[in-house]
Amino acid sequence: MAVDRTPGSPGTFQHEALLYDTERACVAGTVDFITDGLRSGEPVLVMVAPERIAAVQSAIGRDADRVRFADMRTVGRNPARIIPVWQQFAAIHPDTPLRGVGEPVWPERHPAELVEAQCHELLLNLAFAGTAGLRLLCPYNRARLDGDTITHALSSHPTLRDQQGSRASDDYCDDIAAAVLHAPLLPAPDEARTLAFDAAHLRDVRDLAQAVAQHHGLDAGSADDFVLAVDEVATNSVLYGGGKGVLRCWESDGVLMCEVRDRGRIKDPLVGRIRPAVDDVNGRGLWIANQVCDLVQVRSDTSGSVVRLHMR
């Protein structure tokens, strides 16, 4: 995997965690990273919370007009939607050194969202392994994030940065696919509505998804999106997961959840996070699910696969 672990060296892809304890330290480290890039004429994209955007813009001054900013709380609400934004940024500036700042992990994240944001951080190293000249800096609040989250940051970033400088991470994870696809999920509750299905019963899948969406108060547009996502995932089970699957639906803390389990094996941990080519039929269902759902969790091992959809 072409990920450069040498701090500051011109590798094919550099992915750094900025470990900070105060907002002042975060802004200072972020601004240093940005201004270094601007001095070299590098395009810069910054995706952080709105209040951080304002602080960084103020610190940079008039050069802030040379930086592209986006609200990570909107872009990254579903973490699976972040990689396509970085890919589009790279495509706009081909064969050009680039810099980006992204903070997909924040203390207020819902626990399930946090898990997927951590998976996203690992998957960046796969998605951009062949992207020359791209450097990404990801701030982590050591004062407010728990120890397990910081430990995960050490494993998902080849390089670490703080006020003492940069260094290679001794805890970097090399087996990214296993770390993502084998990440544990809480079991579905016993009271979940359950339906076993095959090709002849996909209509029953759609009917159940529609019924639970209405029962739990989704508006018409969200209900249609939910049914579409469930149908896409269930169809994948019929086509690629052994011809059948099991659907479970339940509600937890104001979130409607639905999972599809089958005997198929998913080997690509980036599935659903990379926009399929126009003529590519594979991966389209999970891509659609990620575009319409608030969260999609994909897991797979030797026993089979599960796709869990979340809709607020």
The CATH number that applies at residue 245 is 3.30.565.10
Range with lowest mean pLDDT among 15-29, 116-130, 148-162, 279-293:
279-293
Domain that holds residue 94: 13-181
Asked if residue 3 is part of any domain, the answer here is no
Q: Note whether 289 and 237 are same-domain residues.
A: yes
Tokens 């508006």: give the residue.
Answer: 219
Q: Note whether 115 and 263 are same-domain residues.
A: no
Q: Note whether 174 and 202 are same-domain residues.
A: no
Q: Note whether 119 and 36 are same-domain residues.
A: yes
Query: For residue 237, what pLDDT is reported?
Result: 97
Q: Note whether 242 and 200 are same-domain residues.
A: yes
The tens digit of pLDDT for each residue in 234-292 reads 999 999 999 999 999 999 999 999 999 999 999 999 999 999 887 776 778 999 999 99
The mean pLDDT value for 56-80 works out to 97
- In the sheet that holds 98-102, the strands lie side by side as 67-71, 44-48, 98-102, 134-141, 13-20, 159-162, 165-168
Domain C-terminal end among 149, 181, 213: 181
Structural domain count of the chain: 2
State the Cα–Cα distance between residues 198 and 232, nearest whole angstrom: 13
Q: How many CA atoms within 13 Å lie on the side-chain side of 271?
A: 24
Does the pLDDT of residue 3 top 60, yes or no?
no
Q: Note whether 23 and 112 are same-domain residues.
A: yes
Q: Note whether 81 and 204 are same-domain residues.
A: no
Q: Note whether 166 and 215 are same-domain residues.
A: no
State the Cα–Cα distance between residues 68 and 71, nearest whole angstrom: 11
Q: By the 8 A CB rule, do 124 and 83 touch?
A: yes
Percent of the chain scoring above 90 in pLDDT: 91
Does the pLDDT of residue 11 top 60, yes or no?
no
Asked if residue 119 is part of any domain, the answer here is yes
Query: For residue 44, what pLDDT is reported?
Result: 98
The mean pLDDT value for 189-199 works out to 97
Asked if residue 120 is part of any domain, the answer here is yes
Q: Note whether 246 and 177 are same-domain residues.
A: no
Q: Note whether 124 and 199 are same-domain residues.
A: no
Domain C-terminal end among 153, 181, 209: 181
CATH code (residue 62):
3.40.50.300
Tokens 């579409």: give the residue.
Answer: 228
Domain C-terminal end among 181, 201, 224: 181
Q: By the 8 A CB rule, do 104 and 76 touch?
A: yes
Total H helices, total E strands in the chain = 10, 12
Please give the model's pTM, rounded to 2 decimal places. Answer: 0.93
Q: Note whether 249 and 139 are same-domain residues.
A: no
Asked if residue 143 is part of any domain, the answer here is yes
State the Cα–Cα distance between residues 101 and 106, nearest whole angstrom: 14
pLDDT bin (cut points 50, 70, 90) of residue 9 is low
Q: Note whether 170 and 85 are same-domain residues.
A: yes
Measured on CA atoms in the order 78, 92, 269, 226, is the torsion positive or negative?
positive
Tokens 């997909």: give the residue.
Answer: 104
Residue 15 tokens, joined: 């992915």
Residue type at 100? G
